Amino acid sequence: MASRKLEGKVALVTGGSRGIGAAIVRSLARGGAKVAFSYVRSKDKADGVVAGVARAGDVAVAIKADNQVDAEVVALVAKTVERFGALDILVNNAGIGSIGALAELPIAQIDSMLTVNVRATIIATREALKHIPDGGRIINIGSIVAERTPYAGGSIYSLTKGAIAGFTRGLTRELAPRRITVNNVQPGPIETEGTKAEGPFATILLNALALERFGQVDEVAEFVSYLAGPDAAFITGANLNIDGGFAA
Protein backbone atom coordinates (compact mmCIF):
# COMPACT_ATOMS: atom_id res chain seq x y z
CA MET A 1 0.00 0.00 0.00
CA ALA A 2 1.26 3.47 -0.90
CA SER A 3 2.28 5.76 1.93
CA ARG A 4 -0.54 8.10 3.00
CA LYS A 5 1.64 10.82 4.50
CA LEU A 6 -0.47 13.54 2.85
CA GLU A 7 -3.75 12.36 4.36
CA GLY A 8 -5.93 15.32 5.31
CA LYS A 9 -4.02 17.79 3.11
CA VAL A 10 -5.37 19.83 0.20
CA ALA A 11 -3.16 20.48 -2.81
CA LEU A 12 -3.46 22.70 -5.88
CA VAL A 13 -1.48 21.90 -9.02
CA THR A 14 -1.47 24.37 -11.89
CA GLY A 15 -1.44 22.72 -15.30
CA GLY A 16 -2.38 19.22 -14.19
CA SER A 17 -4.20 17.69 -17.14
CA ARG A 18 -1.20 16.07 -18.84
CA GLY A 19 2.51 15.34 -18.69
CA ILE A 20 4.39 16.07 -15.49
CA GLY A 21 1.40 17.91 -14.01
CA ALA A 22 -0.96 14.95 -14.37
CA ALA A 23 1.65 12.65 -12.81
CA ILE A 24 1.99 15.06 -9.87
CA VAL A 25 -1.79 15.10 -9.38
CA ARG A 26 -1.90 11.30 -9.30
CA SER A 27 1.07 11.04 -6.94
CA LEU A 28 -0.28 13.59 -4.44
CA ALA A 29 -3.67 11.86 -4.50
CA ARG A 30 -2.05 8.47 -3.85
CA GLY A 31 -0.38 10.10 -0.86
CA GLY A 32 -3.80 10.92 0.57
CA ALA A 33 -4.21 14.57 -0.47
CA LYS A 34 -7.33 15.99 -2.03
CA VAL A 35 -6.09 17.60 -5.22
CA ALA A 36 -7.43 20.43 -7.36
CA PHE A 37 -5.70 21.13 -10.65
CA SER A 38 -6.11 23.52 -13.53
CA TYR A 39 -6.40 22.98 -17.25
CA VAL A 40 -6.94 25.35 -20.17
CA ARG A 41 -8.16 23.42 -23.22
CA SER A 42 -7.65 19.72 -22.53
CA LYS A 43 -11.00 19.03 -20.83
CA ASP A 44 -11.10 15.41 -21.97
CA LYS A 45 -7.63 14.79 -20.58
CA ALA A 46 -8.48 16.62 -17.37
CA ASP A 47 -11.60 14.50 -16.95
CA GLY A 48 -9.49 11.42 -17.56
CA VAL A 49 -7.10 12.37 -14.76
CA VAL A 50 -10.04 12.93 -12.37
CA ALA A 51 -11.57 9.59 -13.33
CA GLY A 52 -8.28 7.74 -12.89
CA VAL A 53 -7.79 9.22 -9.43
CA ALA A 54 -11.36 8.31 -8.50
CA ARG A 55 -10.88 4.71 -9.64
CA ALA A 56 -7.99 4.47 -7.20
CA GLY A 57 -10.30 5.63 -4.41
CA ASP A 58 -8.83 9.12 -4.15
CA VAL A 59 -10.11 12.63 -4.85
CA ALA A 60 -9.21 15.15 -7.54
CA VAL A 61 -11.12 17.98 -9.19
CA ALA A 62 -10.33 19.80 -12.44
CA ILE A 63 -10.84 23.57 -12.67
CA LYS A 64 -10.60 25.46 -15.96
CA ALA A 65 -8.19 28.39 -15.60
CA ASP A 66 -5.85 30.12 -18.02
CA ASN A 67 -2.53 31.18 -16.50
CA GLN A 68 -2.38 34.02 -19.01
CA VAL A 69 -5.33 35.71 -17.30
CA ASP A 70 -4.69 37.16 -13.84
CA ALA A 71 -8.34 36.94 -12.76
CA GLU A 72 -8.53 33.25 -13.66
CA VAL A 73 -5.45 32.45 -11.59
CA VAL A 74 -6.97 34.29 -8.63
CA ALA A 75 -10.28 32.46 -9.13
CA LEU A 76 -8.48 29.10 -9.35
CA VAL A 77 -7.17 29.46 -5.81
CA ALA A 78 -10.54 30.69 -4.53
CA LYS A 79 -12.40 27.77 -6.17
CA THR A 80 -9.97 25.28 -4.66
CA VAL A 81 -10.57 26.62 -1.16
CA GLU A 82 -14.31 26.79 -1.79
CA ARG A 83 -14.34 23.15 -2.93
CA PHE A 84 -12.15 21.65 -0.19
CA GLY A 85 -12.25 24.24 2.59
CA ALA A 86 -8.48 24.56 2.85
CA LEU A 87 -5.19 24.75 0.95
CA ASP A 88 -1.97 23.26 2.29
CA ILE A 89 0.20 22.61 -0.77
CA LEU A 90 0.69 24.67 -3.92
CA VAL A 91 2.52 23.22 -6.93
CA ASN A 92 3.23 25.84 -9.60
CA ASN A 93 3.62 23.51 -12.54
CA ALA A 94 1.97 25.26 -15.51
CA GLY A 95 4.47 26.46 -18.06
CA ILE A 96 5.01 27.04 -21.76
CA GLY A 97 8.10 27.29 -23.90
CA SER A 98 9.02 28.52 -27.38
CA ILE A 99 12.39 27.94 -28.98
CA GLY A 100 13.74 30.49 -31.42
CA ALA A 101 16.38 33.13 -32.00
CA LEU A 102 15.67 36.22 -29.92
CA ALA A 103 15.61 38.46 -32.98
CA GLU A 104 12.94 36.28 -34.56
CA LEU A 105 10.69 35.41 -31.61
CA PRO A 106 7.39 37.29 -31.83
CA ILE A 107 6.84 39.64 -28.91
CA ALA A 108 3.53 37.88 -28.24
CA GLN A 109 5.35 34.59 -27.62
CA ILE A 110 7.85 36.29 -25.33
CA ASP A 111 5.02 37.90 -23.37
CA SER A 112 3.21 34.57 -23.08
CA MET A 113 6.25 32.83 -21.61
CA LEU A 114 6.83 35.64 -19.14
CA THR A 115 3.15 35.69 -18.15
CA VAL A 116 2.56 31.95 -17.76
CA ASN A 117 5.95 30.94 -16.38
CA VAL A 118 6.64 33.88 -14.07
CA ARG A 119 3.74 36.28 -13.50
CA ALA A 120 1.13 33.54 -12.96
CA THR A 121 3.44 31.73 -10.55
CA ILE A 122 3.75 34.91 -8.49
CA ILE A 123 0.00 35.57 -8.53
CA ALA A 124 -0.95 31.99 -7.66
CA THR A 125 1.53 31.98 -4.79
CA ARG A 126 0.36 35.38 -3.53
CA GLU A 127 -3.26 34.21 -3.50
CA ALA A 128 -2.45 30.81 -2.00
CA LEU A 129 -0.59 32.41 0.89
CA LYS A 130 -3.89 33.89 2.06
CA HIS A 131 -4.91 30.33 2.91
CA ILE A 132 -1.82 28.12 3.36
CA PRO A 133 -1.28 27.51 7.09
CA ASP A 134 2.00 27.47 8.97
CA GLY A 135 3.95 24.41 7.95
CA GLY A 136 2.55 24.43 4.41
CA ARG A 137 4.37 23.73 1.17
CA ILE A 138 5.06 25.69 -2.01
CA ILE A 139 6.75 23.75 -4.80
CA ASN A 140 7.69 25.38 -8.08
CA ILE A 141 8.43 23.38 -11.20
CA GLY A 142 11.29 25.13 -12.92
CA SER A 143 13.74 23.62 -15.37
CA ILE A 144 17.38 22.65 -15.54
CA VAL A 145 17.77 25.21 -18.34
CA ALA A 146 17.95 27.81 -15.56
CA GLU A 147 21.47 26.43 -15.08
CA ARG A 148 22.45 25.01 -18.46
CA THR A 149 21.08 25.53 -21.98
CA PRO A 150 23.22 23.53 -24.43
CA TYR A 151 21.30 24.59 -27.55
CA ALA A 152 20.47 27.81 -29.35
CA GLY A 153 17.06 29.47 -29.15
CA GLY A 154 16.28 28.96 -25.48
CA SER A 155 17.17 32.37 -24.07
CA ILE A 156 13.70 33.55 -23.03
CA TYR A 157 12.54 30.19 -21.70
CA SER A 158 15.78 29.91 -19.71
CA LEU A 159 15.24 33.45 -18.41
CA THR A 160 11.79 32.55 -17.09
CA LYS A 161 13.07 29.49 -15.29
CA GLY A 162 15.98 31.44 -13.84
CA ALA A 163 13.44 33.91 -12.49
CA ILE A 164 11.62 31.07 -10.72
CA ALA A 165 14.88 29.97 -9.10
CA GLY A 166 15.42 33.47 -7.75
CA PHE A 167 11.80 33.81 -6.65
CA THR A 168 12.14 30.56 -4.72
CA ARG A 169 15.21 31.71 -2.82
CA GLY A 170 13.75 35.11 -1.95
CA LEU A 171 10.37 33.78 -0.85
CA THR A 172 12.05 31.19 1.36
CA ARG A 173 13.41 33.90 3.67
CA GLU A 174 10.02 35.59 3.84
CA LEU A 175 8.08 32.46 4.78
CA ALA A 176 10.60 30.70 7.02
CA PRO A 177 9.10 32.17 10.23
CA ARG A 178 5.87 30.37 9.33
CA ARG A 179 7.69 27.10 8.56
CA ILE A 180 6.28 27.19 5.03
CA THR A 181 8.90 25.55 2.82
CA VAL A 182 9.53 26.83 -0.69
CA ASN A 183 11.42 24.69 -3.19
CA ASN A 184 12.06 24.63 -6.91
CA VAL A 185 12.21 21.30 -8.75
CA GLN A 186 14.29 21.59 -11.93
CA PRO A 187 13.63 18.69 -14.31
CA GLY A 188 15.95 17.90 -17.16
CA PRO A 189 14.60 16.34 -20.36
CA ILE A 190 11.46 14.37 -19.44
CA GLU A 191 9.58 12.18 -21.89
CA THR A 192 6.00 13.42 -22.29
CA GLU A 193 3.38 13.58 -25.04
CA GLY A 194 5.04 16.73 -26.34
CA THR A 195 8.67 15.76 -25.73
CA LYS A 196 9.74 12.53 -27.35
CA ALA A 197 13.09 10.86 -26.75
CA GLU A 198 13.76 10.63 -30.48
CA GLY A 199 14.54 12.95 -33.35
CA PRO A 200 17.32 15.52 -33.99
CA PHE A 201 16.53 17.76 -31.00
CA ALA A 202 16.19 14.77 -28.69
CA THR A 203 19.63 13.63 -29.81
CA ILE A 204 21.12 16.98 -28.72
CA LEU A 205 19.53 16.55 -25.30
CA LEU A 206 20.51 12.89 -24.96
CA ASN A 207 24.13 13.77 -25.67
CA ALA A 208 24.04 16.13 -22.68
CA LEU A 209 22.61 13.53 -20.29
CA ALA A 210 25.02 11.56 -18.12
CA LEU A 211 22.46 8.76 -17.79
CA GLU A 212 21.84 8.78 -21.56
CA ARG A 213 18.06 8.61 -21.22
CA PHE A 214 15.12 10.92 -20.76
CA GLY A 215 13.43 11.00 -17.38
CA GLN A 216 9.89 9.80 -16.77
CA VAL A 217 7.03 11.90 -15.44
CA ASP A 218 6.51 9.65 -12.43
CA GLU A 219 10.12 10.18 -11.35
CA VAL A 220 9.47 13.91 -11.10
CA ALA A 221 6.06 13.43 -9.50
CA GLU A 222 7.35 11.23 -6.70
CA PHE A 223 10.06 13.78 -5.94
CA VAL A 224 7.41 16.49 -5.68
CA SER A 225 5.28 14.34 -3.36
CA TYR A 226 8.26 13.82 -1.09
CA LEU A 227 8.82 17.59 -0.88
CA ALA A 228 5.12 18.03 -0.09
CA GLY A 229 5.29 15.60 2.81
CA PRO A 230 6.40 15.75 6.43
CA ASP A 231 9.79 14.14 5.83
CA ALA A 232 10.95 17.16 3.80
CA ALA A 233 10.32 19.77 6.49
CA PHE A 234 14.02 20.77 6.64
CA ILE A 235 14.36 21.29 2.87
CA THR A 236 13.63 24.85 1.80
CA GLY A 237 15.06 27.46 -0.54
CA ALA A 238 16.51 24.72 -2.72
CA ASN A 239 16.75 24.53 -6.49
CA LEU A 240 16.68 20.77 -6.83
CA ASN A 241 17.83 19.14 -10.07
CA ILE A 242 16.20 15.96 -11.30
CA ASP A 243 18.00 15.89 -14.60
CA GLY A 244 19.87 12.65 -15.24
CA GLY A 245 23.17 14.49 -14.95
CA PHE A 246 22.25 17.11 -17.57
CA ALA A 247 23.97 19.84 -15.54
CA ALA A 248 26.84 17.70 -14.25
Q: Which residues are catalytic?
A: 157
SS (H, E, C) the chain: CCCCCCCCCEEEECCCCCHHHHHHHHHHHHCCCEEEEEECCCHHHHHHHHHHHHHCCCCEEEEECCCCCHHHHHHHHHHHHHHHCCCCEEEECCCCCCCCCCCCCCHHHHHHHHHHHHHHHHHHHHHHCCCCCCCCEEEEECCHHHCCCCCCCCHHHHHHHHHHHHHHHHHHHHHHHHCCEEEEEEECCEECCCCCCCCHHHHHHHHCCCCCCCEEHHHHHHHHHHHHCHHHCCCCCCEEEECCCCCC
